[in-house]
């Protein structure tokens, strides 16, 4: 109540000076629900810092904040916000802003693309995540527009949900089960849905990117809702070729858990590649999918991808018999999960599926494209399959060449994106790592594991982030 009375006194004094009537609104009683920091208005300018979500992390409280600015009269050409920051606060990640720390304050400045804001339009999607070992929160201290400081009342501190409380709906949206209907991926209500997200690189090689903060960055900054966990079966460290199987299973479990906590879907990907024929390690596949389907049978956010990129394996004679066996294995434990089945020639021969679909209703078939290599020929195959009502999921794609390297082909990439959005297809970008190849979403020089700024992203990463944000 002290904060409320203090704000009422300030407002009263301000109105007396301005010659306006004293406010007569009743001050609301305190509430135990999360309180959103009110907007602070000075003439035509409104600005606010809000704590939109909070959760405990060991002995600290982690809070997600957002900054909004709006001038209803004047175009903003540049802006700077100065925040008052409690002692012991640590910045975990930020998006669409640069943050400089200085003597108990953080100074927020724009990226090039959100420096200018038209009159009447709000600054959007600027935020950060910070941890603190006290219950104090970050507040807006001063605001500078077009090189001049704007005076305004200090706003009431935002009060997100206390540590230990149940996560708010903004933090964890309930994950509904998916199913396939009329060739479309649908939610529980039978409405078509589009999943969009990224694929990890090989879990054995880049395990560090399976972390909660990375997934949170992808969800909140990129607008992703899906993570694909790529478990290589062969190659060095592969699950079937000498890799530490327990460590790999533990990584998958972490990925499944983080995705569930953040309200995201997750694909467990049996990533055959150099082994070409999915039946080469079919015994190991049976054991693997028996274990994971039993463990995650009640997790409605889990999808299974049972053969990444078959090669020299015709669909009807090789892939379909393998898929029928593995689908049956999964169905013994998980009756309803969506299962993704690869197609021949690195998931390009989607037309072979037409008329040869499995009898299981919740199966989709995968197409992979690399825009620098795959163009109209593969797009035409895909259209043919879609028009034949084949359920398709693009579980791996990039804007460069099929080697994972080479220049980005933006023209072909835009054609792919048009096709994806025309049919509402789900898709995952390759790959979440800083490997020195152009398909990596992060630059090789980036050593951050989360909270990436645009400067940390490769050309591929920037393109996919923009594509997800437009969805």
To which H or E segment does residue 242 belong? Answer: none
206 close to 435: Cβ distance less than 8 angstroms: yes
Instruction: Find residue 205's DSSP bridge partners.
Output: none
DSSP state of 318: I
DSSP state of 72: S
Structure tokens at 449: 């594991």
137 close to 35: Cβ distance less than 8 angstroms: no
Among 235, 260, 352, 396, the one annotated catalytic: 396
Write the burial class of residue 130 (CB in 10 Å: 0-12 exposed, 13-18 middle, 19+ buried).
buried
Structure tokens at 227: 């993570």
Q: Is 309 a catalytic residue?
A: yes
Distance CA 153, CA 151 (A): 7
Among 309, 352, 357, 437, the one annotated catalytic: 309
Write the burial class of residue 58 (CB in 10 Å: 0-12 exposed, 13-18 middle, 19+ buried).
exposed
Q: Is 396 a catalytic residue?
A: yes
The torsion angles phi and psi of 209, rounded to 5 degrees, stand at -85, -5
181 close to 190: Cβ distance less than 8 angstroms: yes
Question: What count of Cα atoms within 13 Å lies in the side-chain half-sphere of residue 58?
Answer: 3
Distance CA 57, CA 345 (A): 45
Structure tokens at 125: 């999607």
The dihedral of CA 160, 166, 187, 423: what is its sign? Answer: positive
| Alpha-carbon torsion, ordered 451, 453, 454, 455, to 10 deg | -120
Distance CA 306, CA 309 (A): 10
What separation in angstroms does the CA of 228 have from each of 225, 308, 428, 466, 468?
10, 11, 7, 19, 15
b/e burial code for range 82-113 (CB count within 10 A of at least 16 → b)? bbbbeeebeebbbbbbebeeeeeebbbebeee
Distance CA 413, CA 372 (A): 8
Strands 60-71 and 126-132, bridge-based pairing: antiparallel
Q: Could you give the residue numbers annotated as active site?
A: 309, 396
């Amino acid at each position: 109540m002290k904060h409320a009375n203090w704000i009422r006194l300030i407002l009263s004094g301000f109105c007396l000076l301005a010659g306006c009537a004293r406010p007569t609104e009743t001050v609301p009683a305190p509430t135990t629900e999360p309180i959103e920091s009110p907007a602070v208005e000075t003439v035509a300018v409104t600005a606010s810092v809000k704590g939109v979500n909070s959760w405990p992390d060991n002995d600290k409280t982690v809070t997600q904040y957002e900054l909004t600015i709006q001038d209803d009269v004047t175009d903003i050409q540049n802006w700077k916000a100065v925040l008052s920051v409690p002692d012991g606060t640590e910045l975990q990640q930020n998006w669409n802003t640069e943050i400089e720390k200085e003597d108990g304050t953080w100074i927020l400045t724009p990226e090039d693309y959100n420096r200018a804001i038209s009159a009447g339009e709000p600054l959007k999607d600027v935020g950060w995540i910070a941890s603190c070992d006290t219950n104090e929160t970050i507040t807006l201290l001063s605001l500078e527009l077009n090189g001049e400081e704007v005076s305004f009342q200090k706003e009431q501190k935002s009060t997100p949900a206390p540590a230990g409380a149940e996560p708010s709906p903004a933090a964890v949206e309930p994950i509904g089960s998916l199913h396939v209907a009329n060739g479309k991926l649908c939610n529980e209500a039978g409405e078509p849905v589009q999943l969009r997200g990224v694929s990890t690189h090989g879990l054995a090689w880049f395990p560090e990117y399976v972390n909660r903060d990375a997934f949170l960055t992808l969800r909140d900054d990129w607008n992703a809702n899906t993570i694909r966990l790529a478990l290589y079966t062969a190659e060095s460290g592969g699950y079937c070729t000498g890799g530490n199987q327990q460590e790999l299973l533990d990584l998958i479990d972490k990925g499944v858990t983080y995705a569930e906590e953040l309200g995201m879907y997750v694909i467990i990907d049996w990533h055959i590649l150099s082994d070409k024929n999915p039946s080469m390690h079919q015994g190991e596949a049976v054991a693997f999918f028996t274990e994971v389907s039993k463990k995650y049978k009640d997790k409605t956010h889990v999808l299974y991808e049972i053969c990444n990129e078959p090669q020299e394996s015709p669909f009807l004679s090789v892939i379909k018999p393998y898929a029928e066996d593995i689908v049956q294995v999964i169905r013994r434990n998980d009756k309803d999960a969506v299962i993704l089945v690869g197609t021949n020639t690195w998931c390009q021969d989607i037309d072979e599926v037409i008329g040869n679909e499995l009898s299981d209703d919740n199966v989709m078939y995968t197409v992979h494209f690399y825009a620098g290599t795959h163009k109209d020929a593969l797009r035409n195959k895909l259209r043919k399959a879609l028009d034949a009502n084949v359920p398709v999921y693009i579980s791996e794609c990039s804007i460069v060449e099929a080697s994972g390297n080479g220049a980005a082909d933006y023209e072909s990439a835009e054609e792919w994106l048009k096709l994806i959005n025309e049919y509402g297809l789900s898709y995952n970008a390759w790959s979440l790592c800083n490997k020195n190849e152009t398909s990596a979403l992060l630059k090789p020089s980036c050593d951050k594991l989360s909270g990436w700024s645009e400067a940390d992203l490769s050309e591929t990463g920037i393109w996919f982030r923009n594509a997800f944000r437009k969805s």
